[in-house]
Structures are given as structure tokens and as C-alpha cells.
Amino acid sequence: MKNAVLTITPNPSLDISGFVDRIIPNEKTYVQDEAHAPGGNAINVARILCRLKVPVVASGFLGGAAGYEVASLLKKENIRQHFIAIKEPTRTNVTISSRHHHQQTRLSFSGPRIEPREKDQLSRFVRSQHHMGILVIGGSLPPNFSVRDLTGFISIAQKKNASVVIDCPGAILRHLTKHKLLLIKPNLEEFQLMTQSRVRTLSAVKKKALQLLQSVSYVCVSSVEGGALLVTSSGCFFGRIPRVKIRSTVGAGDSMVGAMVAQLFKGNSSASDILRWGLAAAAATLSEEGTTLGSASQIEELYKKTVVIEVS
């Protein structure tokens, strides 16, 4: 029985966030309301899945004091985890928000080098996951970690008849769409990079996304004409988030992926409904400050206000 989702974050981070009244160049700026959160696309997907009562195991690489804190923060959220301990420390990313207009400065570092034996340990762990129904791989890649390493995980999952979801930057996605995937969710800029095109309109993005359906079951492109487009073999659907006060953009895309994966895991076959849940989760996180993700109750409430239409 396939009864769990496994997420792999190759390059997790400890996300430190805070607020300032203003930033003056060459002057010391005091940051208030410091908060720490686990970071990384697939880690955030796991956090949303857990909130939506989907069984999930978070994995990847963690090292040093920052890695220990990430693991501790995930434990507080009751997320099952199995990270490979690495020699070099996990990166720390910084998000600073303005109190007045909620604009953000985000500093993201490259991350630790992953040694060959550490990669092998993660591969062995993935092979041991006999109850994996969906594998989610998300985020950037650390130094000396390649797309070939990702394809190794994809191959292991597919040999176990598990579906694969990829939530990585466009340059990485471009090399992975030849594999049979369940879902990808690039934003428009990532989609342009992935397809090496300049498409911008809903119709142009739809036409280009349709070409990917031979290898990808669900192609979701966000930030298209103020909304998101989901292209499937059963139809194409478009929707926008309900009206919310946007306080932060951190984790909104990851939340969208998490909610969509939750519906796919539960066997929801309605593409329009899957997109509707995704948009609701994105809106829930957009309404939170700093690096906080939306709650299950917020997602459920915003789902009721989200409208999705079919695109002919």
C-alpha cells in the first residue's frame, strides 16, 4: 500500500526573518521581531502536507548548528523526518520585511558541498521507502550536486511505482521534463527559462504547456495574467487567489504545491478542484508575515472563496 509522501530538499536552509522601519545604505539597521523557520521548497511542501493531514516524511541533507535547528523546528511541527547528516553546515537565509509597505529583501546563500558518500546515504534511504506513493523534490541545488543526482532519485521512485513531483528552478526543470512526472509548478519566469521561450499571455503559455503533457500529467504555471494556469490532458483551468492583504511572498508557491500534492495523494481527480486548493493555500501564506506559512483553517476558508474556470 502506498501510504506516504516523501519530500527531498537537497539544499535546506534555516530561514531567519525580521522587520525594519527602513534600510539606510551604509548605516546600521536594527531588525525587530526575529523569527526562525525551516526553509527549502520541499520542506515547505512537507509542512503544508502535514497541516492538511497527509502522511509525509521530509528528507534531504542537514549539517551543523543550523541543520540541528531546522530538524528541531520540524519536530515541533510533528513532521516525520529522515535527513542525512553532512559534514558542512546547512545554509542560513535572511528575509527582512518593511513594516510600512511589506516589501522584502531576501538573501539566499549557495549552501554546503555534499560529499559522494552523503549522496549515497540518501539514495539508500529512498530505496528503503517501500510505502512511498509520491516523491516531491524541491528547491535549489547545493554546490557539486547535479541534475544527474536528481534523476537518480526519480529513477528509484519510478521503479517503486511512485509518482514524482518537481518544484525546482526553471534551469533545473528544463533537464527533468523528459522524465515521466506527475506535477510541475514553475512561475512564468521559470516557465520561460524552462521552455526557452518568451511566452507571456494565457493562450501562449497554454499552447507551450500542452507540448509538455506527453511527459508531465499536470503543468501548473503561476503568475500568468495575475493568476495560475493548470494544463492537463482532461482540460485547462485558470484561477486567481481570493482577495487577501499580501504581507509576504515567502513560501506561497511551495504552499500551492503542497496543497495540490495533498489532493493528488487523496485521489482527487478534478483538475479544477486541485488548482482551487493550490490557490487557496498560496493565498493563505501570502496573508502571513515573514516566513510563516498558512494554516489548514485559513486554507479551507479561502478555498470557499476561490474561483477556477475552464479555459477553452
Q: Name the catalytic one among 15, 120, 254, 273.
A: 254
Write out the three cell numbers for 235. 482540460
Active site residue 254: yes
Mind telling me the catalytic residues?
254
